[in-house]
Structure 1
Amino acid sequence: MQKLPSRTRLRKFRNPGFKKQQKGSKRGLLGTLASNIQNQTSNTNSRLFVVWGVLMAAGLGLGIKLYNLQIVKGTKLTEQARNQQMVDLRPFMPRRPVVDRNSELLAIDRPVYTLYAHPKLFDKSNEEMAERLAPILAKDTAELVKTFQSKRSGIILAPALPEEIIDRVTSLRLNGLELIQKYSRYYPPDDLVSDVVGYVNVDRRGQAGVEYSQEKLLERPVQTVRLSRSGNGAVMPDHAPEGFLHFDDLRLQLTIDSRLQRIASLALKQQMEKFDAKRGAVIVMDALDGSLLALVSQPTYNPNEYAKANISLFKNWTVADLYEPGSTFKPLNVAIALENSVIKPDDMFNDSGSIRVANYTIKNAMNNGNGRISIAQILQYSSNIGMVQIIQRLKPSIYYNWLERLGLGQKVDTDLPFEVGGRLKSQEEFIASPIEPATTSFGQGFSMTPIQLVQMHGALANGGKLVTPHVVRGLIDTKGQMHDSPTRTVSRQIFSAATAQKVVEMMETVVNEGSGKAAQIPGYRIAGKTGTAQKASPNGGYIKGARMTSFVAILPVESPRYVVFALVDEPKGESAYGSTVAAPIVKSVIEALIPLEEIPPSKPIEQQPKAP
Structure 2
Amino acid sequence: MGSAHTARRHRRPPSRVGQRRPSTPPPPVTRSRYKRQQLMRRVALVWCLLLLAVLGLSVRLGYLQLAQGAILSEMAHTQQARRLNLNETRRPIVDTQGTPLAVDRVVYTLYGHPALFRQPIGVVAQTLAPVLDLPAAALVDELKSQQTGVRLIDDLSEDTARRIQQLRLDGLELIPVQQRFYPQQDLFSQVVGFINVEGEAQTGLEAEYRDRIKLPEPKLPSVIGPALPVSNLPTESAPQQMRLTLDSRLQRVAQEGLRKTLRQFAAKRGTVMVMDVHTGALRALAVEPTFDPNRYFDADLAWLKNWAITDLYEPGSTFKPINIAIALEAGAIAPDDTVYDEGQIQIGEWTIQNSDYEASGRSGTLSITEVLKYSSNLGMVHIMEQMPAADFYRWLEKLELDQPTGIGLSAENAGPLKDRDQFVNSYVDAATAAFGQGIVITPIKLLQLQAALANGGYLVTPTVVEGMTDDQGNLTWQPTPKTPKPVFSSETTDAVLKMMEAVVADGTGKPAQIPGYRIAGKTGTAQKVNEFGGYGSGRVTSFVSLLPVEQPRFVVLAVIDEPAGDDAYGSTVAAPLVKTVMESLVVLEGVPPSAPQALNGVLSPD
Q: What's the TM-score once normalised by structure 2's chain length?
A: 0.81
Match of 1:448 among 436, 441, 445: 441
Alignment of 1:145-294 (within 5 A): 145-222=140-217, 246-294=236-284
Q: Where has structure 1 moved over 4 Å in runs of 4 or more?
A: 80-86, 88-93, 244-247
Q: Which amino acid aligns with 1:419?
A: E
Secondary structure at the aligned position of 1:564 is classed as: strand
- Alignment correspondent of 2:397: 404
Residue 85 (structure 1) shift? 5.5
- Alignment correspondent of 1:391: 384
Q: Deviations over 1:121-178 (max 9, x none)?
A: 2222222222332333243332221110111111111222111222332333322111
> Are 2:537 and 1:545 equivalent residues in the alignment?
yes
Residue 457 (structure 1) shift? 0.2
Could you tell me whether the CA contact under 8 Å between 1:358 and 1:434 is conserved in 2?
no
Residue 467 (structure 1) shift? 0.6
Q: Which amino acid aligns with 2:560?
A: V
* Gapped regions of structure 1 (runs ≥ 5): 1-79, 235-243, 607-612
Q: Give me the whole-angstrom Cα distance separating, in 2, the residues matched to 1:215 and 1:404.
A: 33
Alignment of 1:122-137 (within 5 A): 122-137=117-132
- Alignment correspondent of 1:362: 352
Query: Which is higher, the Rg of structure 1 or of structure 2?
Result: 1
Secondary structure at the aligned position of 2:473 is classed as: coil
Match of 2:559 among 518, 543, 567: 567
Q: Percent identity?
A: 46
> Are 2:577 and 1:582 equivalent residues in the alignment?
no
Q: Which amino acid aligns with 1:355?
A: I
Q: Which amino acid aligns with 1:464?
A: G
Q: Which amino acid aligns with 2:175?
A: I
> Are 2:106 and 1:116 equivalent residues in the alignment?
no
- Alignment correspondent of 2:303: 313
Could you tell me whether the CA contact under 8 Å between 1:196 and 1:295 is conserved in 2?
yes
Could you tell me whether the CA contact under 8 Å between 2:89 and 2:217 is conserved in 1?
no
Secondary structure at the aligned position of 2:187 is classed as: coil
Q: Which amino acid aligns with 1:599?
A: V
Residue 357 (structure 1) shift? 2.7
Distance 1:135 1:82, change over 3 A: closer
Q: Which amino acid aligns with 1:200?
A: I
Q: Give me the whole-angstrom Cα distance separating, in 2, the residues matched to 1:277 and 1:130.
A: 48
Secondary structure at the aligned position of 1:595 is classed as: helix
Residue 561 (structure 1) shift? 1.8
> Are 2:291 and 1:298 equivalent residues in the alignment?
no
Q: Alignment RMSD, CA only?
A: 2.4
Match of 1:142 among 137, 141, 154: 137
Q: Give me the whole-angstrom Cα distance separating, in 2, the residues matched to 1:433 and 1:586.
A: 36
Match of 2:504 among 502, 511, 533: 511
Residue 359 (structure 1) shift? 3.8
- Alignment correspondent of 1:520: 513
- Alignment correspondent of 1:34: none
Could you tell me whether the CA contact under 8 Å between 2:238 and 2:471 is conserved in 1?
no
Could you tell me whether the CA contact under 8 Å between 2:187 and 2:252 is conserved in 1?
yes
Q: Which amino acid aligns with 1:470?
A: T
> Are 2:598 and 1:598 equivalent residues in the alignment?
no
Q: Give me the whole-angstrom Cα distance separating, in 2, the residues matched to 1:87 and 1:480.
A: 36
Match of 2:416 among 402, 423, 426: 423
Q: Give me the whole-angstrom Cα distance separating, in 2, the residues matched to 1:498 and 1:274.
A: 41
Q: Give me the whole-angstrom Cα distance separating, in 1, the residues matched to 2:182 and 2:526.
A: 36
Secondary structure at the aligned position of 1:296 is classed as: strand
Secondary structure at the aligned position of 2:186 is classed as: coil
> Are 2:549 and 1:557 equivalent residues in the alignment?
yes
Distance 1:605 1:409, change over 3 A: farther
Secondary structure at the aligned position of 1:423 is classed as: coil
Residue 411 (structure 1) shift? 1.5
- Alignment correspondent of 2:26: none
Distance 1:187 1:604, change over 3 A: closer
- Alignment correspondent of 1:336: 326
Q: Give me the whole-angstrom Cα distance separating, in 1, the residues matched to 2:73 and 2:110.
A: 32
Secondary structure at the aligned position of 1:150 is classed as: coil
Q: Deviations over 1:423-473 (max 9, x none)?
A: 320111111101111000001111111000000001011110001111111
Residue 221 (structure 1) shift? 2.5
Q: Give me the whole-angstrom Cα distance separating, in 2, the residues matched to 1:499 and 1:451.
A: 23
Secondary structure at the aligned position of 1:528 is classed as: strand
Could you tell me whether the CA contact under 8 Å between 1:220 and 1:247 is conserved in 2?
no
Residue 83 (structure 1) shift? 8.6
Could you tell me whether the CA contact under 8 Å between 2:273 and 2:556 is conserved in 1?
yes
Q: Give me the whole-angstrom Cα distance separating, in 1, the residues matched to 2:494 and 2:165.
A: 66
Residue-pair matches, total: 513
Distance 1:246 1:330, change over 3 A: closer
Q: Which amino acid aligns with 1:146?
A: D
Q: Which amino acid aligns with 1:362?
A: I
Q: Give me the whole-angstrom Cα distance separating, in 2, the residues matched to 1:108 and 1:574.
A: 46
Match of 1:380 among 370, 373, 376: 373
Could you tell me whether the CA contact under 8 Å between 1:549 and 1:569 is conserved in 2?
yes
Q: Give me the whole-angstrom Cα distance separating, in 2, the residues matched to 1:191 and 1:108.
A: 15
Distance 1:166 1:83, change over 3 A: closer
Q: Which amino acid aligns with 1:149?
A: K
Q: Which amino acid aligns with 2:479?
A: P
> Are 2:426 and 1:436 equivalent residues in the alignment?
no
